[in-house]
């Protein structure tokens, strides 16, 4: 496998949920989740991203979650803090905070709602990179942001020395292939079900939602492929595919994964509006998915 920048973020990063209890962040539960992921062998945690319901956290809460995860991690597991925003000033502020707390890197989503031009994307990421000396992993998810960062723009952004990787969540293998051809960023899948296909065209791992539930299995897939055990990686892909489909297809992320964690006794399942709980039929579908996978009896 050719060397890429951002090798420290290859493998399994879990996009960590933010646990709530009675409307407030459950910091005790965050600590337990960090400890559990250390035990499970997760390589890196990414708090306060899409899965962490960052859009519904106020500024103080966002910072407190980053600080809590970094403190509990205590060097036992890497932390790639979500510090993206549709405001460049806010992204700079959050990234400075992550650097101050000791995060290993940051995950910067493309500005959402604004729909910048490609030049605007470049200037946004360049402003953050120039303001804060910390490894940056880009996050391109047009389904959430409203527009795509093109491979050519990503290659231009990649010339910034602190930009080391990209979470590729367009769902397009052509785009991932173009990125791999144009620059040496570490490419991480942003879609659990596409982890193996993306690794086959040069990806080095995944920023996983389903890893909140089955991190060992996701890591087994990634490790097998990295070791050249393609048949073993394909077996894991086939086992995980229907599970990933239901965890990400029943409703908007992170509703299904939080429901699964509730059913497994790992979370309250509480969400913040405008996210809301599944109806009974959809929750039963998640329950059956867990049963079929062998996680519930």
Q: Which CA distances in Å does 51 have to 30, 177, 199, 212, 275?
A: 14, 26, 22, 10, 11
The C-alpha angle with vertex 11 and arms to 145 and 34, in degrees rounded to 5, equals 80
State mean pLDDT over 161-183: 97
Cβ 138 vs Cβ 154: under 8 Å: yes
Q: Is residue 139 annotated as a catalytic residue, yes or no? A: yes
Name the active-site residue from 121, 139, 219, 293: 139
pLDDT surpassing 80 at residue 2: no
pLDDT surpassing 80 at residue 1: no
- Residue keyed to tokens 């000396």: 133
Q: Kindly state the percentage of the chain with pLDDT values over 70.
A: 99
- The CA distance from 25 to 21, in Å, is 6
In the chain, domain spans: 7-227
- Paired tokens of 51: 């899965």
Say which CATH class 7-227 falls into: alpha beta
- The CA distance from 286 to 248, in Å, is 10
Query: pTM to 2 decimals?
Result: 0.96
pLDDT surpassing 70 at residue 136: yes
State mean pLDDT over 2-20: 90
Q: What is the pLDDT of residue 249?
A: 87
The model's confidence at residue 4, banded by pLDDT at 50, 70 and 90, is confident
Tens-place pLDDT, residues 138-151: 999 999 999 999 99
Tens-place pLDDT, residues 44-103: 999 999 999 999 999 999 999 999 999 999 999 999 999 999 999 999 999 999 999 999
- Residue keyed to tokens 């595919």: 241
Q: Is residue 122 annotated as a catalytic residue, yes or no? A: no
State mean pLDDT over 273-285: 96
Name the active-site residue from 78, 167, 219, 258: 167
Q: What is the pLDDT of residue 207?
A: 98
pLDDT surpassing 80 at residue 3: no
pLDDT surpassing 90 at residue 290: yes
The model's confidence at residue 113, banded by pLDDT at 50, 70 and 90, is very high
């Amino acid at each position: 496998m050719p060397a890429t920048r951002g090798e420290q973020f290859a493998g399994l990063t879990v996009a960590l949920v933010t646990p709530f209890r009675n409307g407030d962040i459950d910091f005790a539960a965050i600590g337990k989740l960090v400890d559990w992921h250390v035990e499970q062998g997760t390589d890196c945690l990414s708090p306060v991203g899409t899965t962490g319901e960052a859009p519904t956290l106020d500024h103080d809460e966002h910072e407190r979650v980053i600080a809590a995860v970094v403190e509990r991690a205590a060097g036992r597991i890497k932390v790639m803090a979500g510090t993206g925003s549709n405001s460049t000033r806010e992204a700079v502020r959050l990234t400075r905070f992550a650097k101050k707390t000791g995060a290993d890197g940051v995950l910067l989503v493309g500005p959402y709602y604004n729909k910048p031009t490609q030049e605007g994307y470049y200037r946004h990421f360049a402003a953050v990179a120039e303001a804060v000396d910390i490894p940056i992993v880009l996050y391109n998810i047009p389904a959430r942001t409203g527009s795509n960062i093109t491979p050519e723009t990503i290659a231009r952004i990649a010339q910034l020395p602190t930009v080391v990787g990209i979470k590729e969540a367009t769902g397009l293998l052509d785009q991932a292939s173009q990125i791999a051809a144009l620059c040496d960023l570490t490419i991480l899948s942003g879609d659990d079900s596409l982890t193996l296909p993306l690794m086959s065209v040069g990806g080095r791992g995944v920023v996983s939602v389903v890893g909140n539930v089955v991190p060992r299995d996701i890591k087994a897939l990634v490790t097998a492929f990295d070791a050249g055990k393609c048949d073993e990686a394909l077996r894991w892909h086939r086992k995980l595919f229907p599970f990933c489909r239901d965890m990400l297809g029943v409703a908007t992320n992170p509703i299904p994964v939080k429901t699964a964690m509730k059913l497994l006794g790992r979370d309250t399942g509480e969400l913040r509006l405008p996210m809301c709980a599944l109806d009974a039929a959809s929750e039963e579908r998640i329950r059956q998915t867990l049963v079929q996978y062998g996680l519930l009896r």
